[in-house]
Amino acid sequence: MTKKLFKVNIITATIIVVVLLTSVFWSTYLFKEADLNLYDNQIRILVSKQKSEIEKGIYETGKYPYIVFELDGNVLYCEKPFEAYIGDSINVQEMLQFDRSFYIKNNNLVKESFVLEKNKITNGFVTFLVPQNEVMMKTQVEQVYEVFLPIIIGMIICIILTFIRTVYCNKCILTPLREISESAKGIIAGNYNLEVVRIYGRRVRENEVGELTYSFEIMRDELKEKQLREESLKKSQQELISCISHDLKTPISTIKAYSEALRDHIAKNPHKQEEYVNIIINKTDLLIGMIDELLKCSNAELKQLDINCKETYFIKYFEPLMKELNNYITQKSIGFSYEINCSEALVNIDKKRISEVMYNLVENSMKYMGDKVGQITITAEKIDREILVKVKDNGIGISSNDIPYLFDKFYRAEKSRSSSVPGSGLGLSICKYIINEHGGEIYCKSRQNEGCEIGFTLGL
């Protein structure tokens, strides 16, 4: 049993015991007083007028019979059923005290005595006989009910406390344990979606059972995330196998065909042989690039792609990179320009990985220039606490239907489904992974036949 629950149980049991003992003692007291509960105040009200006359020395027959006697017991006045006469001497103590036998003998007449005073000096007593039914405000049934009322109230309170305690235990202990049991069975069966309610009362982890529930939910969430990750990896593996078989088939078939041509001496002259060898080399380079992308994608999927960020001055890094890209792009007879619209700033980046992103975006633009005179423009500008880098081209663009899926693994827009456009469909997904690992975001804006803009942010 938990410490808090043990404490609550002790408090509840103590309250129940105190309530029961109090109700029993109260009922016992009322039971003892029940026979003699004659309500003196009521009698005083009934005989007040007669008593006032008697104190004045006027002894007249009134509604209630009475006897008047001095301090020494000398009788000054007497009425029946008192068995005494004027001038007799009676026992004062016996007359003043309650006598049950007298009460029964005289048809339930209640004997009540009062002090007689004159000038604040006690000079005698008067004793009245009053019928019980005139002074008893409650019937015997009412008196019995009043005697047992405290016990009844005590039992009701105890029942309510027990009920509250049962509801509390059911809500805060049995219900979460039952839910944990059902969720555990679901996990065994492979269902990780049976959530256990985490909050009971006002606070999370209100007691040890709450802490157990909280810890169980963390475990379930971890297992669910692991299952989703495993399913995603399994799906990626299936996609990888499918895409590898599709993307590698064409270059391998080409290499095989030209190799067989060389073997069978189809290429008769050295110029033709050199052409075939160059095709084989190009297709081999394409295969090496695709395999390299697949390796990077696999490492990214497994969170094993090395990204070592260091503080770097952005312009000092960016300008040499632009000069490299200028030489690379202009060799392909494509125009190139760049602009840096920001002051020098420190960025925390992996220069090698960001360079891979830049080259990947540039190559992507170069692939889809179409028949136009190509032009690629790269700009860098500071927006709030970020550096925004944009790569724009005037190529054939991307359909709006393709943009939402552009950064998905193995996705290739419909326009690129051709052996004349090499690639595995992994480049942009790897770019997205690298930028996300740097804490930035990558996006694409494009309209078909109107060029494309792909940009990404780097935090300062």
Strand order in the sheet with 109-118: 75-78, 66-69, 121-131, 109-118
DSSP single-letter state for residue 119: T
What are 375-425's pLDDT values in tens digits?
999 999 999 899 999 999 998 888 888 888 888 876 665 444 344 555 556
Q: What's the pLDDT score for residue 453?
A: 94
CA distances, 330 to each of 315, 335, 366, 371 (Å)? 22, 6, 11, 16
SS3 readout for 316-339: HHHHHHHHHHHHHHHCCCCEEEEE
Quick one: which of 392, 390, 432 has its CA closest to 408?
Answer: 432
Q: How far apart are CA 106 and CA 131, in angstroms?
A: 9
Adjacent-strand bridge partners of 390 = 379, 455
**Rounded Cα–Cα distance for residues 269 and 261 (Å):** 12
Domains defined for the chain, CATH in brackets: 40-135 (3.30.450), 308-459 (3.30.565.10)
User: Measured between alpha carbons, how far is 381 from 386 in angstroms, rounded to an integer?
Assistant: 8
* Burial label, 37 (beta-carbon count in 10 A; 0-12, 13-18, 19+): middle
Q: Residue 368: what residue type? A: Y
- Distance of alpha carbon 248 from alpha carbon 26, whole angstroms: 96
Q: For residues 459 and 343, what is the distance between their CA atoms, to the nearest angstrom?
A: 14
pLDDT tens digits for the chain (460 residues)?
A: 456 666 767 777 888 888 888 888 887 776 665 544 445 667 777 888 888 888 888 888 888 889 899 888 898 899 888 888 888 888 888 888 765 555 545 666 777 888 888 777 888 898 888 887 776 655 556 666 677 777 888 888 888 888 887 787 777 777 777 777 887 888 787 787 777 765 444 444 456 677 777 778 888 888 888 878 777 767 766 666 666 665 666 678 778 877 888 888 887 788 888 888 888 887 787 777 777 766 666 666 556 567 889 999 999 999 999 998 998 888 888 999 999 999 999 999 999 889 989 988 998 888 888 777 889 999 999 998 999 999 999 988 888 888 888 888 766 654 443 445 555 567 788 899 899 989 999 999 988 788 899 999 998 8
